[in-house]
């Protein structure tokens, strides 16, 4: 990565190789509860990770360190000697009583324990890719996350009931600590900010709704900024609840996720308003048709940040993967410092 214009902002990426025999054997030795999510999409490899690294090098040269979190796994192509790359195993930061874990939630909820991680960091899944030039101010301004406050009702059920329950649990936790009538007064200028563009009018409508209690905030699904101090604060306030979640080895309907950290920060008003929806988009891939549509938009590089959210049927997965990987290869064709071999 370029050494020019370094910031004090880190990146955390976490990854699992769901085809690794050793990992599969370990996973099989634990019996998940009936209320867990064991779908193939939780673990199968979309092969987007190298484009995550390429996008960081090309479009985020100002990043300080990249912390790569895995469970005793590394991609064959990864250059372990890359500058600014920090390899982190689960056992290096997750308390031993939570291990092994096969759920993203205990991993994410313990990011603040990573040794050396800066106060300001951005979280990437392996399907989050940067596709256009960015600057530090896209994520942090004056030490605060740049974010959007959008009240949004909880949507329960559907094709992902475990995730719906997870959101409900997360929102319930936040609702215990923040009163809607209070934060509407305290954060009025940040809720009704013209910096949100067209979303100002949506916020104005929701602001006028007479709901007595907190009912949820919209959380975009692409790379987002976090503060380590927020994690520490939520653990101090809700340690018992988070401890219970971290003992769940598989994704469960009883879980709370990393959204709690972002929501807590928003409720405290510790953010700078910005229209982040203009910067990023998550593509929910459910068919060949919408994969083609997503690929076309990805190649336009209209967004700075994207997510390839795989919700494909097994019969469509291989064909769809060729389509979206082809789009990523078109905009990020050059190997990067994080890959073995000569750069091209």
Distance of alpha carbon 34 from the chain centroid: 26
For residue 338, tell me if it sits in a domain.
no
Q: Does residue 196 lie in a domain region?
A: yes
Q: Is residue 136 part of a domain?
A: yes
The verdict on residue 1 lying in a domain is no
Containing structural domain, residue 211: 9-331
Residue 115 lies in a domain: yes
- Nearest Cα to 236, choosing from 215, 261, 257, 259? 261
Written as six digits, the tokens of 219 are: 């959380």
In a domain, residue 274? The reply is yes
CA 105 – CA 218 distance, rounded (Å): 18
157 inside domain: yes
Instruction: Give a yes or no: residue 303 inside a domain.
Output: yes
Q: What is the CATH number of the domain that holds 113?
A: 3.90.550.10
Please give the chain's pLDDT, 344 residues, in tens: 444 468 999 999 999 998 889 998 998 888 666 556 555 555 567 899 999 999 999 999 999 999 999 999 999 999 999 999 999 999 999 999 999 999 999 999 999 999 999 999 999 999 999 999 999 999 999 999 999 999 998 766 556 677 888 999 999 999 999 999 999 999 999 999 999 999 999 999 999 999 999 999 998 999 999 999 999 999 999 999 999 999 999 998 899 999 999 999 999 999 999 999 999 999 989 899 999 999 999 998 889 999 998 888 889 899 999 999 999 999 999 999 999 986 65
CA torsion, points 284, 289, 291, 296, in degrees to nearest 10?
A: -120
Q: Which of 298, 290, 297, 308 is nearest to 332 (CA)?
A: 298
Domain count, the chain: 1
């Amino acid at each position: 990565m370029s050494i020019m214009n370094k910031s004090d902002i880190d990146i955390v990426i976490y990854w699992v190789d769901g085809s690794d025999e050793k990992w599969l054997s370990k996973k099989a030795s634990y019996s998940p509860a009936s209320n867990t999510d064991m779908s193939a999409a939780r673990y199968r490899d979309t092969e987007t990770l190298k484009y995550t690294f390429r996008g960081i090098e090309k479009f985020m040269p100002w990043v300080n360190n990249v912390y790569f979190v895995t469970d005793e796994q590394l991609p064959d192509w990864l250059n372990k000697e890359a500058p600014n790359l920090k390899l982190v195993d689960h056992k290096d930061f997750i308390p031993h009583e939570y291990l092994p874990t096969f759920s993203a939630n205990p991993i994410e909820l313990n990011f603040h324990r990573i040794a050396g991680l800066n106060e300001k960091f951005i979280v990437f899944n392996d399907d989050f890719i940067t596709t256009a030039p960015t600057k530090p101010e896209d994520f942090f301004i004056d030490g605060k996350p740049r974010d959007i406050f959008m009240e949004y009702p909880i949507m329960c059920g559907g094709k992902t009931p475990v995730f719906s329950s997870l959101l409900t649990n997360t929102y319930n936790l936040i609702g215990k600590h923040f009163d809607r009538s209070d934060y509407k007064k305290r954060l009025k200028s940040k809720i009704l900010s013209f910096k949100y563009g067209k979303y100002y009018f949506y916020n104005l409508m929701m602001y006028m709704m007479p709901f007595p209690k907190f009912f949820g905030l919209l959380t975009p699904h692409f790379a987002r900024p976090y503060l380590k101090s927020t994690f520490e604060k939520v653990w101090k306030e809700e340690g018992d609840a988070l401890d219970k979640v971290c003992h769940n080895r598989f994704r469960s309907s009883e879980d709370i996720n990393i959204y709690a950290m972002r929501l807590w920060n928003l409720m405290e008003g510790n953010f700078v308003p910005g229209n982040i929806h203009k910067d990023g988009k998550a593509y929910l891939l459910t068919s060949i048709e919408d994969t083609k549509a997503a690929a076309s938009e990805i190649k336009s590089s209209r967004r700075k940040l994207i997510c390839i959210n795989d919700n494909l049927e097994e019969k469509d997965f291989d064909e769809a993967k060729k389509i979206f990987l082809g789009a990523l290869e078109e905009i990020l064709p050059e190997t990067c410092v994080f890959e073995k071999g000569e750069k091209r």
